[in-house]
Structure 1
Amino acid sequence: MLSAIRSYLLPAVKLYLLGLKVLLAQLCSRPVRLPVMPRQDGKVAIVTGGGRGIGYEVVRHMARLGAHVIIGGRDEQEGLVAVKRICEEYKEAKVEFKKVDLASLQSVRQFVQNFKERDLPLNILVNNAGVMLVPKGCTEDGFEQHFGVNYVGHFLLTWLLLDTLKDSGKCGHFSRVVNVSSSAHRISNITLNDLNSCQCYSAHAAYCQSKLAQLLFSSHLHQELQHGGFPVSSCAVDPGMVDTALYRHLWTPLRLAQSTIAHLLFRTPTEGAATVLYTALSPDLEGECGGGYWANGCREITRPPTFDPQLQLSLWETSLQLLGLQ
């Protein structure tokens, strides 16, 4: 009993203490300001979860620069409203919504099939959608929700689009994969024999594990692409603590406190999107320069396990097995 309580409470305490540390660091530093980015005419981007929050700001900025942006999300009404708002703001914007539910592998496969049938290039993939502290449950394919949505759905989406990303990139104009992770990865460990968090379930621990998995995947993918000589780069980004709907599943008293201070102390979605956009668009990050883990507009060194090649490979191979991929 005591062990179960510790397994449930300890991840929550660690996550909230980390959140306080991140918030204090944000208060002591200026928000990242995105430099002027070049035009993106002729480029095609997919942004998951682009109907609101950070994703919406990423889509909005890319569309303003002339990119053809596809919002991938499960809420059609929200996505169409986002498209309408952007098109009203920028009359020549090329932005559209296509439904994809990352909690459904079938939905991900159908989304990719529909995209490929259009014979479009793919220059930028932003894996932004995510869930945090959702109640215990599984996706339709049997994965724990955090692991299934934040990691597995994006792993499959990226895998199925890799050939298009490779074909669309070229020397000096690499295609890019940007995975929106979180500083929460710093307090997690990957348990390869319990990726679905079946033992002593904690939503806090499950969320942190899914974000570490994203980072491990992003790093290994970049290495594989570079070793293969493909014109595609992959990086992970921590946008910081941003005032979005991601916190809606916090314990009620904490949610009420968070909603009160978020408007004053958290970053805005526009500020949170700055580093995501920088890694996706900056000419300074071509080729090998585009990999790594980014936060506050800079590449950062994170926990040693993140750079463990054997752990990265083990997760990679386990993921392929879980998805029946070769």
Structure 2
Amino acid sequence: MLLSAVRSYLLPVIRLYLLGVKVLLVQLFSRAPRLPVMPRQDGKVAIVTGGVRGIGYEVVRHMSRLGVHVIIGGRNEQEGQAAVRRICEEYKEAKVEFTKLDLASLQSVRQFVQSFKERNLPLNILVNNAGVMLVPEGRTEDGYEQHFGVNYLGHFLLTWLLLDILKDSGKPGSFSRVVSVSSSAHRVGEIRLNDLNSCQSYSAHAAYCHSKLAQLLFSSHLHQELQHGGFPLSSCAVDPGMVDTGLYRHMWMPLYLAQRAIARLLFRTPAEGAATVLYAALSPDLEGECGGGYWANGHREMTTPPTFDPQLQLNLWETSLRLLDLH
């Protein structure tokens, strides 16, 4: 019984924080990625989830400056409108707006997509950025564990419902792109198809890692499906590194206080964290077959063996379709 408790609760904590120390050491002795000068993106339309603060806000801000019409999808209307005002004050020509989107509600996701489709706009870029980390045990509106429901399943549904528009908006030489913001935490995650909802035992640390691995598996499988179908659309995942944002607020208080103390020294700024996300979304170097993969520190990286397991990718994909009643 004690061994089982250690395995379920303590081991994920140890594995995640050891990984965090490793990532911080890498960041300490390496230069943060910088975004090269990007061409203008006038006429393009992007959706960025969780774009009201942190990395997402920097992504929206930079895209707006390059002429992209950006739609922020987020839960908090007041914060969303405030973010839009700040960007428009900085760039008078910015085309940026906020639309309510709660990824913890599948109905909200469907309403968001329906509202977007009614506008008959193209969609060239989808950035799946919003997420939760180490939240207390709880369920989404539809009964899913929060990390799984928000970080993975909500984005799965959003991407699926927007696929036709993304495909139609791309063309040879100018592919549409789906960019999913992942985390190095996927390296210590695992996929248990018989317990995706973490019902057998709950660890916030494990649940977060599992959701990020699921997100990466989805991104990889989606890219393969798009390539096989010959569609002008690519899918990739990005690890922005350890970034000084509010994502860490659910950590155990002593650790959170320690994190705040060292964040300014060792963590990347939101703008630095956004650099690789923006590169994956905008760079001409990643056009066509050069898109896809897992990106970290400004370049494509190899990652854990489960990420490349085609059967695991397919099983998770088909399970997700069943959970969402998609065909």
TM-score, normalised to structure 1, is: 0.99
> In structure 2, what is the equivalent of residue 210 of structure 1?
211
Which SS does the other structure have where 1:196 is aligned? coil
Say whether residues 1:253 and 2:254 are aligned partners: yes
Q: What are structure 1's unaligned runs of at least 5 residues?
A: none
Q: Where does the alignment leave 5 or more consecutive residues of structure 2 unmatched?
A: none
Partner SS for 2:67: coil
Q: CA deviation at 1:265?
A: 1.2
Does residue 242 in structure 1 map to residue 235 in structure 2? no
Residues 109-188 of structure 1 aligned to structure 2 (within 5 Å): 109-188=110-189
**Shift, 1:188, TM fit:** 1.2
Structure 1 counterpart of 2:88:
87
Deviation at 1:264, TM superposition (A): 1.6
- CA–CA distance in structure 2, aligned partners of residues 296 and 12 of structure 1: 24
Shifted more, 45-54 versus 196-205: the winner is 196-205
For residues 222-278 of structure 1, what are the alpha-carbon distances to aligned partners after superposition, in whole Å with 9 as ceiling and x for unaligned?
A: 000010000000000000000000000000000000011111210000000000000
Output the amino acid matched with 1:182: S
**1:190 and 2:191 correspond:** yes
1:97 is matched with which residue?
A: 98
* RMSD over aligned Cα atoms: 0.5
Cα distance in 2 for partners of 1:293, 1:249 equals: 27
Q: Secondary structure of 1:194's partner?
A: coil
Find the counterpart in structure 2 of residue 286 from structure 1: 287
1:75-117 residue CA offsets vs partner (Å, 9 max, x unmatched): 1111111100000000000000000000000000000000000
Alignment partners' CA distance in 2, 1:237 and 1:224: 19
Equivalent residue, structure 2, for 1:13: 14
Measured in 1, the distance between the counterparts of 2:152 and 2:63 equals: 24
Aligned equivalents of 1:87 and 1:119: distance in 2? 24
1:143 deviation in Å? 0.5
**Inter-partner Cα distance in structure 2 for 1:64 and 1:98:** 20
| Residues 195-223 of structure 1 deviation map (CA, whole Å, 9 limit, x = unaligned) | 01111210000000000000000000000
Instruction: Count residues in correspondence.
Output: 326
Q: Residues 10-40 of structure 1: CA distance to partner in whole angstroms, max 9, x if unpaired?
A: 0001000000000000001001010000101
Displacement of 1:4: 1.7
Which letter does structure 1 place at the counterpart of 2:272? E
**How far off is 1:5 after superposition?**
3.1
Report the secondary structure of 1:5's partner residue.
Answer: helix
The answer for the alignment partner of 2:71 in structure 1 is 70
Name the counterpart of 1:39: 40
Quote how far apart the aligned CAs of 1:6 are.
2.8
Q: Identify the residue that residue 231 of structure 2 maps to in structure 1.
A: 230
Superposition deviation, residue 189 in structure 1 = 1.1
Question: What does residue 312 of structure 1 align with?
Answer: 313
Q: Which amino acid aligns with 1:260?
A: A
Query: C-alpha distance in 2, partners of 1:300/1:265?
Result: 22
Q: For 1:288 and 1:13, locate their aligned partners in 2 and report how far apart those are by CA, in whole Å.
A: 38
Alpha-carbon distance in 2 for matches of 1:234, 1:14: 28
Q: Which amino acid aligns with 1:125?
A: L
Shift of 1:52: 0.2
Distance 1:269 1:235 in 2: 20
1:275-320: CA deviation from partner (whole Å, max 9, x where unpaired): 0000000001011211000000000000111001110000000000
Following TM superposition, the consecutive aligned residue runs of length 4 or more in structure 1 with deviations greater than 2 angstroms are none
Q: Taking structure 2 as the reference length, what is the TM-score of the superposition?
A: 0.99
